[in-house]
């Protein structure tokens, strides 16, 4: 056994080595700090450091320096995430504004309600890429098409108007911050939301499509990346916009003045207006996976009064859909790892639970209604058709995007009675809506440009499918269909 006296020589070197290193380190730091204030400091150790640091002059100067540094950092971050000044937008608009003789048909929301056009799906016999343009990074949402014009935004805050048949640019509109929302066209005006999750004080902008002029904006405290929707009830028109942590805003679509505001939690999901009721869902923020609950809610169109509110099992990021007497929400987390997704349906009038289904993957794509069923997609490439009457999936197709986080929904083309799904990184799938079988899998050739990250739904516009990706490519595709009865 070793005695305590024998331990002393062993302990002293072991303890003194780190203490010496710490002392030398503190002395160096002290010398450096003292030099900042014009004080010469000999290597006298930590004691001298404390004497220097505790002088009122040094303390006051250090506090002021820290305040300046941290204030500058926070100020720069605040400014970097603040939208462009209105004066800048007005100046840019003067340079870009061009008149148009068209009367633009209303596109208040991207179509989501369909009835089967045929009993059997037609088979695509080839897919032609009619045109492709590169417009700058960030074509995050689906394009909007009306009157043979295509509208879409990018990360640089520019919304472009193209000819549908040629891809030729007609004109552009400028907001300066990422035009991340789906666009809304109403009464010859276009409404544009902006921002990503860190954006604050984001606005909804209104531009006149006849003159190209800026017509005003409405400012929130959050970001406005979900689609703003114009709804009508009993002769009253209202623009509804979500502002992230700042809740839901009801705005006059002509004057851009606020009517009412309701905050039930973080709101990024698009809203649904139906027969005087506004349906909305809430989600969890990036840095909060437990504290906040998620809700489905029904509000009064004119006042914002909560008609009913029910808890959801996960975040609602997309617009709900109405089927008969049900309003249904798809839910799932995109900021936190999870292996669950949900479809939750409620009675439209009372909010009573009617249908619930769990999935093995979070749901974050815009749902579509086909007959009495919901076309839904998961973040990892699962595409399913859920029948409300039998309360089960009629079929599911797996694009197997396990390393991706797709936000794209499936679209329906009544021309061929087919489902069109843009996978995140693996091209376009055309599915039979009756059984989910793949009718075509299309990927562009090298000459047609590589298929990059695709978050947006395919926009079906007559003979054209408009596809946009996060790299800034916008394509017009055209499928030639052959009826199954004509197949050998």
Residue that wins the pLDDT comparison between 19 and 212: 212
Per-residue pLDDT, 349: 95
Radius of gyration for the alpha carbons in the chain, expressed in angstroms and rounded: 29
pLDDT digits (tens, 9 = 90+) for 358-375: 999 999 899 999 999 999
Q: What does the alpha-carbon distance between residue 372 and residue 357 come to, in Å, rounded to a whole number?
A: 16
Per-residue pLDDT, 473: 85
Least confident of 55-64, 124-133, 357-366: 55-64
Mean pLDDT to the nearest integer, 153-164 = 93
pLDDT digits (tens, 9 = 90+) for 288-314: 656 678 999 999 999 999 999 999 999
Mean pLDDT to the nearest integer, 165-194 = 94
Q: What are the structure tokens assigned to 124, written together? A: 């695509």
Q: What does the alpha-carbon distance between residue 372 and residue 382 come to, in Å, rounded to a whole number?
A: 20
What contacts 292, CB < 8 A, 6 or more positions away? 265, 266, 282, 284, 285
CA 166 to chain centre: 29
What contacts 175, CB < 8 A, 6 or more positions away? 83, 84, 89, 157, 158, 159, 192, 194, 203, 205
Q: Give 485's pLDDT tier (boundaries 50, 70, 90).
A: low
Q: What does the alpha-carbon distance between residue 149 and residue 183 come to, in Å, rounded to a whole number?
A: 13
> What sign has the CA pseudo-torsion 271, 275, 277, 282?
negative
Whether 454 contacts 422, CB under 8 Å: yes
Q: Is the pLDDT of residue 15 over 90?
A: no
Whether 301 contacts 273, CB under 8 Å: yes
pLDDT digits (tens, 9 = 90+) for 258-285: 999 999 988 888 899 999 999 999 998 7
Q: Give 9's pLDDT tier (boundaries 50, 70, 90).
A: very low
Q: Is the pLDDT of residue 244 over 80?
A: yes
Find, among 327, 352, 328, 354, the residue nearest to 342 by Cα. Answer: 328
Least confident of 27-41, 379-393, 423-437: 27-41
Helices (H) and strands (E) in the chain, counts: 4, 33
């Amino acid at each position: 056994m070793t005695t305590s006296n024998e331990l002393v020589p062993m302990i002293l070197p072991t303890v003194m080595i780190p203490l010496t290193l710490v002392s030398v380190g503190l002395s160096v730091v002290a010398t450096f700090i003292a030099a900042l204030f014009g004080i010469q400091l000999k290597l006298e150790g930590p004691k001298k450091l404390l004497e220097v640091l505790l002088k009122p002059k040094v303390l006051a100067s250090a506090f002021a320096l820290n305040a300046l540094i941290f204030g500058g950092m926070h100020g720069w971050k605040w400014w970097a995430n603040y939208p462009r000044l209105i004066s800048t937008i007005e100046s840019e608009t003067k340079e870009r504004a061009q008149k148009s003789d068209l009367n633009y048909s209303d596109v208040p929301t991207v179509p989501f309600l369909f009835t089967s056009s045929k009993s059997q799906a037609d088979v695509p016999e080839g897919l032609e890429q009619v045109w492709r343009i590169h417009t700058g990074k960030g074509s995050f949402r689906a394009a909007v098409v009306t009157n043979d014009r295509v509208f879409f935004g990018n990360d640089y805050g520019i919304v472009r108007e193209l000819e549908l048949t040629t891809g030729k640019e007609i004109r552009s509109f400028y907001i300066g911050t990422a035009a991340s929302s789906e666009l809304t066209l109403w009464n010859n005006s276009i409404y544009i939301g902006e921002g990503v999750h860190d954006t604050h004080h984001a606005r909804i902008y209104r531009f006149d499509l006849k003159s190209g002029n800026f017509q005003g904006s409405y400012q929130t405290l959050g970001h406005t990346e979900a689609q703003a929707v114009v709804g009508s009830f009993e002769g009253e028109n209202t623009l509804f916009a979500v502002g992230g942590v700042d809740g839901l805003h009801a705005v006059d679509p002509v004057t851009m003045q606020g009517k009412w505001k309701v905050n039930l939690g973080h709101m990024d999901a698009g809203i649904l207006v139906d027969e005087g009721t506004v349906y909305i869902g809430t989600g969890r923020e990036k840095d909060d996976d437990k504290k906040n609950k998620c809700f489905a809610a029904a509000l009064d169109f004119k006042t914002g009064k909560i008609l009913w509110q029910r808890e959801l099992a996960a975040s609602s990021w997309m617009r709900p859909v109405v089927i008969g007497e049900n309003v249904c929400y798809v839910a799932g987390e995109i900021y936190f790892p999870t292996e669950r997704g949900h479809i939750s349906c409620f009675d439209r009038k009372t909010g009573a639970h009617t249908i619930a289904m769990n999935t093995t993957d979070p749901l974050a794509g815009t749902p579509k209604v086909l007959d009495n069923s919901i076309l839904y997609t998961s973040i990892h490439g699962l595409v399913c058709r859920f029948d409300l009457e039998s309360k089960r999936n009629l079929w599911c197709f797996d694009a197997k995007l396990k390393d991706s986080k797709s936000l794209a929904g499936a679209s329906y083309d009544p021309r061929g009675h087919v489902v069109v799904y843009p996978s995140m990184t693996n091209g376009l799938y055309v599915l039979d809506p009756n059984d989910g079988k793949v009718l075509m899998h299309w990927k562009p050739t090298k000459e047609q440009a590589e298929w990059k990250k695709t978050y947006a739904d395919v926009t079906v516009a007559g003979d054209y499918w408009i596809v946009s990706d996060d790299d800034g490519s916008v394509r017009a595709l055209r499928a030639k269909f052959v009826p199954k009865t004509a197949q050998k």
